[in-house]
Structure 1
Amino acid sequence: MAPNDSAETTGGTTGTVVGRRRAARYIVPVAVAGVAAATIGLVPALADSGDPELPKISAQELIEKIAASDQQQLSGTMKVTADLGLPSLGGLAGSFAPGGGKGGDGSADPQAKLLELASGTHTLRLAADGPGKQRLSILGDAAEYSLIHNEGEVWAYDSGSEEAYHAEADEAGTGDKEHKAPKGMPATPKELAGEALAAAGDTTSVTVDGTVQVAGRDAYKLLIKPEQSGSTIGSVTIAVDAENGVPLKFTLAPSSGGKAVIDAGFTKVDFGKPDASLFSFTPPKGAKVTEADELKAAGEKNGKADGAPGELAAPEGFQGLNVIGEGWTSVARIEVPGGAGLPARGAEGVPAEAQQFLDALGDKVTGSFGSGTVFETRLVNALMTDDGKVYVGAVTKDTLVRAADSAK
């Protein structure tokens, strides 16, 4: 690897950098998120082809390069893998996948269709021409799902089920027709990088970890590691284009080891102006078209939050959440309406088979808070106490128990 200067990023300097980051315009809006993301082992050596010799750069300079990047145009192919350690969604996921049939709400609503990105490996095609034009396509075996945003108008189309969805950008949950794409667009490496950098501070080590080639582009590797114990996140690595500062690949490794939890990166990328035809769409003859306001009306009828497509209403009596701790070991505490937890072992009316199933879902734990059950994935864990409180975070089981104890 080509040598590079490394630097610990302190809370003070990071604050300035994050401010600049927030001022930079991103290429494609956040999705998954959800991450969840955005929420993204991707062919482990994805498009890597050597360690190019590049000028030395410090971590601070590389973060500033990302923040200053104003690349407005690109097109390319990306592979995204999410491995949270969850059971396969099986047929449920298939109903939302491109060509998966007319399941769900009977539309190509992005907030339902993009659920499939929460697990497995996926190939995406991306194009962007400024903040007003983006296109994302999820490639299936025999079908394609496309989401197109063009100056405030949103179209989505599933070629397998021949279903289409149409909305103005504000109806799709953006609130801004001119400059924001539809809510639910999957995150690019740049946006995943932004989330990681926003968390950097005195709890975080940020260094330059050599160089790499991604999608034929020379890049620096920015390595972000928690300095706190108790997080399920081991490290975040971001490959940053050496020329224009655009993140090309994002990898989140768990502290428990093994393959990445999220790995998203370009296999091909072009920073020229995409063809204008990519952002135009007319529903094919015979396609079933669902308007956003139709889903909104159906959502209001069924009790969804504000009638928005794909969003569930907050339960009546929901008490919100409080955050315990800081940095990488932050834990959210949520009050469950009515204070109802999982049924206690031997509870009246709970069949033995049902109890066995509940026991298999998680691990029973005890502490000064009382008792409860911990549900674990490779990234996010949750503790539900028997008196109906939930503690959740990207932290270990022991950290969750300590958080619950401290809240008593």
Structure 2
Amino acid sequence: MAPNDSVETDGGTRGTAVGRRKAARYIVPVAVVGVAAATIGLAPALASTGDPDLPEITAQQLIEKIAASDTQQLSGTVKISTDFGIPSLGGLDGSFAPGGSDSGKGDSTADPQTKMTELASGTHTLRVAADGPDKQRVSILENAAEYSLIRNGGQVWAYDSKTNQAYHAAEDRSGKKPGHPAPEGVPSTPKALAEQVLKAAGPTTSVTVDGTAQVAGRDAYKLLIKPRQSGSTIGSVTVAVDAKNGVPLKFTLLPSSGGKAVVDAGFTKVDFAKPPASSFTFTPPKGAEVTEADDAKTEQKADGAGGLGMFPGGEGLSAGGQGAGDMKVIGEGWNAIAEISTPGGTGLPTKKSGDVPAEAQQFLDTLGDKVSGKFGSGTVFKTRLVNALMTDDGKVYIGAVTPNALVKAADNAA
């Protein structure tokens, strides 16, 4: 059993900081289609078969082990479960999803931005493969169907076998990469999720080694990351790290309120051999409807894709499409709150104003709670992880903090 040696990141040692920076730089971005801030635990993704007896290691050494990992080839099966405490999005027709059918353009069901909403809730099984930073593939396995997202150099293809629709984005002549989020842009595998957390770790974070585990038949150390501040909705993050090659194998995020994990993503099978070249090739099947990416529309979507904005320092706190002058951050670390000014300085549309149908207003009312304070009045929208306060005068306060913290931030800004 590995000792519970810790690294308190309140200045820490220079080696720890360097390790985190190297980790963010070297972790291979093998990612899957996921939500902006990402994905989990109706049940543990992987069952432990016993804690292996491994050599002792400190938290700093384990972070450095992740940083030193040069594994760029792998394939396997990942199980992802999400429980944000919001209604399942899988059954929606896409009209409320970013770029959904409400856009009036009849988006392809193969569009990655449309598909990613499905990973916001429930349990999903994915097959992943990677061969370096420019070749990745992820397939979401469904009942009698499969959705695949493939990147091969400057080409990105997505295909939905259920509807026989394909989506294509390509590098332009200037060498610009495909504007649509490529597979590595969405942090949903253990590796990509861990990368976000390690980049976020700072003075408000405690990092320890919390024993060992066996994941997908491989021995692993458990890196435990916890906020040192009160008021965050995040209780802890555990990353199971392959003891041999330093690759994160499992990621679990627990809420401070207790209960089931909010995010639980881990390998059930993994192979670090070079995947076949055929894994990264794609030709649309006969009769498939192919949609080419629209650059202008794509870039707008990419801005909104964000990352794990609920983590301290996460750029995902900024709202898609908002300019730098429209957003500022209140507080720091795990208690950081983004204050965003909505276009035109208006709050939520209401039934009274005639801006929304009665059915839509009823839906909004079930999601939010009315609050008031020095700032005036507004509505708090809650999940198990990220909460948001939208004031009636058009300000939005959002973060992985309690509703009371949002109200306090709005009061202080009034």
Q: Which TM-score bucket, shorter chain as reference?
A: 0.7 to 0.9
**Map of 1:85 onto structure 2:** 85
Alignment of 1:91-240 (within 5 A): 91-92=91-92, 105-169=107-171, 175-176=176-177, 181-182=182-183, 185=186, 187-240=188-241
Identity of aligned residues (%): 68
- Measure how far apart 1:69 and its partner are: 1.0
Give me the whole-angstrom Cα distance separating, in 1, the residues matched to 2:12 and 2:345. 41
Give me the whole-angstrom Cα distance separating, in 1, the residues matched to 2:299 and 2:29. 29
- Measure how far apart 1:317 and its partner are: 9.2
Alignment of 1:53-64 (within 5 A): 53-64=53-64
Number of residue-to-residue matches in the alignment: 390
Specify whether residues 139 and 310 from structure 1 end up closer, same or farther in structure 2 by C-alpha distance, changes over 3 A only. farther
**Map of 1:337 onto structure 2:** 343
The residue type paired with residue 366 of structure 2 is A
Specify whether residues 143 and 200 from structure 1 end up closer, same or farther in structure 2 by C-alpha distance, changes over 3 A only. same
- Measure how far apart 1:249 and its partner are: 0.3
Q: Deviations over 1:61-91 (max 9, x none)?
A: 1111111111010000000111110012353
**Map of 2:247 onto structure 1:** 246
- Measure how far apart 1:383 and its partner are: 0.6
For 2:23, which of 21, 30, 37 is the aligned residue? 21
> In terms of Rg, which structure is larger?
1
TM-score by length of 1: 0.85
- Measure how far apart 1:338 and its partner are: 2.4
Partner SS for 2:76: strand
For 1:379, which of 385, 396, 400 is the aligned residue? 385
The residue type paired with residue 170 of structure 2 is E
Give me the whole-angstrom Cα distance separating, in 1, the residues matched to 2:177 and 2:335. 34
Gaps of 5+ in 2: 306-318
Q: Does the 8 A contact of 1:11 with 1:202 survive in 2? A: yes
The residue type paired with residue 157 of structure 1 is Y
Q: Deviations over 1:89-122 (max 9, x none)?
A: 353168999xxx9x95135222222221121110
**Map of 2:277 onto structure 1:** 276
For the aligned residue pairs, the C-alpha RMSD in angstroms reads 3.4
Give me the whole-angstrom Cα distance separating, in 2, the residues matched to 1:355 and 1:290. 33
Q: Does the 8 A contact of 1:107 with 1:290 survive in 2? A: no
Give me the whole-angstrom Cα distance separating, in 2, the residues matched to 1:20 and 1:207. 18
Specify whether residues 157 and 371 from structure 1 end up closer, same or farther in structure 2 by C-alpha distance, changes over 3 A only. same
**Greater shift after overlay, 13-22 or 307-316?**
307-316
Partner SS for 2:67: helix
Specify whether residues 163 and 355 from structure 1 end up closer, same or farther in structure 2 by C-alpha distance, changes over 3 A only. closer
Q: Deviations over 1:285-327 (max 9, x none)?
A: 11122222xx34xxx5xxx475768969977999521100000
Specify whether residues 142 and 263 from structure 1 end up closer, same or farther in structure 2 by C-alpha distance, changes over 3 A only. same
- Measure how far apart 1:372 and its partner are: 1.6
- Measure how far apart 1:360 and its partner are: 3.4
Give me the whole-angstrom Cα distance separating, in 2, the residues matched to 1:226 and 1:267. 28
The residue type paired with residue 109 of structure 1 is D
- Measure how far apart 1:277 and its partner are: 1.5
TM-score by length of 2: 0.84
Give me the whole-angstrom Cα distance separating, in 1, the residues matched to 2:322 and 2:207. 43
**Map of 2:43 onto structure 1:** 43
Residue 68 (structure 1) aligned with residue 68 (structure 2): yes
Give me the whole-angstrom Cα distance separating, in 2, the residues matched to 1:402 and 1:94. 35
